[in-house]
Amino acid sequence: MLYLFMISLLFLGSSNCMRIVDLTHEQSISTIFWPGNPQYNFTILFRNFSGSYWYESNSFSTAEHGGTHVDSPAHFYKGGWRTQQIPMEKLVGRGAIINVKQKASTNPDYRVSVADLIDYEDTYGRIPSGAVVIMNSGWSDKYPDPNAVFNTTNPSDPNTFHFPAWHEDAASWLINKRNINIIGVDTPSTDYGQSKTFPVHILLGKHNKIGVENVGFLDQIPESGSTVFVAVVKLRDGSGGPARVFAMVDEGKDQCTSGSNCQFYSASLLIAIILFVLTQKY
């Protein structure tokens, strides 16, 4: 029985069964931008039958920093990586989702603190090098209503904004003590609504770290146990850009339903059983 226990343990640890979760708000005419940016525009070039077949084609224009998007280091730091210069491996990492929904619900100016990060590590273990650390303030549900997202009656005036984000001490701790890849928010800025000096943006740029803003649907992934991908459009000379953000979530075998990963798991289990039976002869 020890054989079987050992094999089971190994497979439990190395199970490759994954669930994929989209964390991206749509790009559309409702896309939320910081005031002063040009609005999103979508143009239908063709949408009809073209001879014997249907044909659709469109174009669009957008500012880089709208909706679910990346802040490249160049955004707030001269000489920081522009979008196409960010190495692909810096756009991926283990997900650490910092839940401050309770705190943000009573204080919309809340900033995630070092204490929040230490609390997180007490529960889930050390935030690994290269992690993607995202605040979950519950703000995703408000998107794309500008009054709700900026939490103001005047979404064209940043002085009136009240939404949570990161404290610079926590951002600095993640960069210097944990060497994370990416800091994210489910709000429009990694600096909170009332910020005038944008210290988190500057820190990120200075250390060639990536920001990601307006991340959606964080309640659909666990606070630990995912890999997060921040697949930004590869804009030449961009200071950011729209991104497809998604997570691969490690699932226990009980959650396996379908797909090649699950087939891989089943095949592996079969091999383990065969090996177990064979080894009983010795």
Min. distance of Cβ 42 from a copy of itself in angstroms? Answer: 7
For residue 76, the SS3 value is coil
Task: State how beta strands 210-213 and 69-71 pair.
Answer: antiparallel
b or e along 96-105 (b: 16 or more beta carbons within 10 Å of the residue's beta carbon)?
bbbbbbebbe
* Residues 93, 231 contacting (CB under 8 angstroms): no
Q: Could you say which of 198, 222, 223, 225 contacts a copy of itself (CB under 8 A)?
A: 198
Pairwise CA distance, residues 256 & 28, whole Å: 34
Q: By C-beta, is 38 or 252 nearer to a copy of itself?
A: 38
Q: By C-beta, is 90 or 101 nearer to a copy of itself?
A: 90
Paired tokens of 208: 């060639």
Q: By C-beta, is 94 or 167 nearer to a copy of itself?
A: 94
Q: Could you say which of 164, 184, 188, 238 contacts a copy of itself (CB under 8 A)?
A: 238
Paired tokens of 170: 């926590």
Q: Phi and psi dihedrals of 245, rounded to 5? A: -105, 130
Q: By C-beta, is 98 or 180 nearer to a copy of itself?
A: 180
The 85-104 site mask, x for binding a copy of itself (CB under 8 A), equals ---xx--xxx----------
Q: Could you say which of 8, 35, 56, 273 contacts a copy of itself (CB under 8 A)?
A: 56
| Contacts to a copy of itself from residues 135-194, by CB under 8 A | none
Min. distance of Cβ 105 from a copy of itself in angstroms? Answer: 28
Q: At what angle do helices 168-178 and 114-124 cross, to 10 degrees?
A: 50
Region near a copy of itself per CB under 8 A, out of 71-79, 113-121, 145-153, 161-169: 71-79
